[in-house]
Amino acid sequence: MPSFDEVLKEAGEFGRFQKRVFFLLCQTGVTFSFLFASVVFLGRAPESYWCRIPGAAELSARCGWTLEEERNLTLLPLRLVNKSSSWECERPDTTWDTSVSCADPLARHGAGSLPHTACHGDWVYEQPHASIVSEYNLVCGNAWMLDLTQAILNLGFLAGAFILGYAADRYGRILTYLLSCLGVGICGVIVAFAPNFTVFLIFRFLQGVFGKGTWMTCYVIVMEIVGSDQRIIGIVIQIFFTLGIMILPGIAYWIPSWQGIQLAISLPNFLFLLYYWAVPESPRWLLTRKKGEKALKIMHDIAKHNGKYLSPHYSEVLNEEVSNPSFLDLVRTPRMRRNTLILMYAW
């Protein structure tokens, strides 16, 4: 009775069909790297910001000041205070009123003798939508929340590895891949227009869950449609991750707002839904689910695209008992297994 590897060898272990699928699925590495490293640009520190004293906006409107004039004429010195192992920004506890002169409003305020109070929700930015820092006031005492956004994303990666890894074994590689791409796209759009920081965190977590699903399943599909001697391409996939890291600064350079960057790195995932017609289900997985007829049909398609012919007696593979291979069963040699383990723990 022929084994699956013998059938694959006759159909072509790394022919035109596998090269096409490999190239298509490797684009997932580019978008996954966008998601992984985007916090560098989404959370860049604002160039200029300050804590607005109550009444300053009304005074500015009465005097007809620009934003820069308001800052120069009404800004009183801040001070940093270490409270509970975190830094808080405090401003002089005063209020601007309508009786203040537009010419020299600071003349009446001896800032050094005034008590101080914490700045909460009074921040003003020259570019209020340039990053999530200015969007959600992640400055001074809230600066640690920027690191929280990346921690939440990584937590999503961990959850996605378990949840969507199981789904790929239970419901199929390509189905899980397509649903993950759809999930990353939808969650990415919601993140871009999140009305508050809580919603931002929830859907950034979900984006991490689905993002890990796309990355894992594209790797497994590629590994399961090539011969054992060609599985070194599992390492080559990492090149596309690096390529995405190189492209991301260019996207951030041309798009000034964090919402634009978020949309630019999320919307390409919807294009991957077209792979429904270009990337088949893994025939190895189909055999583990007792779907030999579908597996054999895909093998005939692989042979046809590779310019080869599949012998009729290989239809016996329909009756072959195939155990569900573990992830490391796909990597035969000790060296490849060691490199794969390193990559697994790295991600």
Residue pLDDT, tens place only, 148-193: 999 999 999 999 999 999 999 999 999 999 999 999 999 999 999 9
Range of the domain at 111: 49-126
Q: What percent of the chain has pLDDT over 70?
A: 76
- 22 and 55 inside one domain: no
Answer with the one of 126, 157, 192 that is the final residue of a domain.
Answer: 126
Q: Are residues 32 and 170 in the same domain?
A: yes
Query: Which amino acid, residue 35?
Result: L
Judge if 21 and 91 occupy the same domain.
no
* Same domain, residue pair 117 and 244: no
Could you tell me if 174 and 281 lie in one domain?
yes
Residue 318, SS3? Answer: helix
Clarify whether residues 72 and 161 are in a common domain: no
Residue at a domain's end among 65, 95, 126? 126
How many structural domains comprise the chain? 2
The answer to whether the CB of 90 falls within 8 A of the CB of 119 is yes
Same domain, 70 and 22: no
Angle at 131 between CA 129 and CA 133, to 5 degrees: 105
Strands 116-118 and 86-92, by their bridges, are: antiparallel
Instruction: Find the mean pLDDT for residues 10-22.
Output: 91
**Do 315 and 299 form a contact (C-beta atoms < 8 A)?**
no
Q: Any idea which of 5-9, 65-69, 93-97, 258-262 has the lowest mean pLDDT?
A: 93-97
As a whole number of angstroms, the distance between CA 114 and CA 284 comes to 74
* Nearest CA-CA partner of 22 in 208, 220, 256, 290: 220
pLDDT of 241 over the 50 cut: yes
| Domain CATH code at residue 30 | 1.20.1250.20
pTM of the model: 0.82
Is the residue at 275 inside a domain?
Answer: yes
Same domain, 281 and 171: yes
Edge to edge, what strands does the sheet with 79-83 contain? Answer: 79-83, 86-92, 116-118
Location of structure tokens 């298509």: 24
Mark which of 70, 99, 126 sits at the end of a domain.
126
Angle at 21 between CA 17 and CA 27, to 5 degrees: 155
Cα radius of gyration rounded to whole Å, the chain: 28
